[in-house]
Structure 1
């Protein structure tokens, strides 16, 4: 089971009401004629092409949405195992790719350290000196 962000529930409800039948086993993303989507031709012969063009994002592939979700999950600070579970992967390497891509946290940490080091005496520094040492 994977949690669904509250922000997308209205759009999901609209999609269900518009495109998904009421019968048990109805497809969540049916093809134009009601059958299952097929990978072949998806990005050339379906309404998807028109929709992404109208959004100003021609060339966006359906699988790109998965990458976006994985990046957002990694940005949350989720641990490796939790990220793997959400992504549905048992491969540590794949989850680490997303974690590495969002390592902007390193910049935030570095900036916080700089702010601490560069405090003036009247900002609460106890007077003890610090020395930066090169790493690596």
Structure 2
């Protein structure tokens, strides 16, 4: 592109010789369009999945504890491989957490389900 035209809208530029955009809107628009063309970064993929997992767990766990078929959550976009931390209870069950919402995989009548819980203060101490 010609050095004297805006890289976003193509308007002729006035002012500094090294100017690339006519205003902040064009600069922002150019970089936004460019970011859409790039492959999403690994960090963004993980962060987006964690946010989605948290949103899904929160929506199915209104009372603090619930049991839901794993297929129901997965159909909404839940991916159990993305979690932030875990907690192990005295029975040896390992709950995986996405921030304050946890889940434990269980088989019930040959159906895979998740027991959903919310983080409690007593869990800080490790084993309860």
Q: TM-score range by the shorter chain?
A: under 0.3
Higher-RCO chain (CA-CA 8 Å, sequence separation at least 6): 2
TM-score between the two structures when normalised by the length of structure 1:
0.27
More helix by share: 1
Give the structure with the larger strand fraction.
2
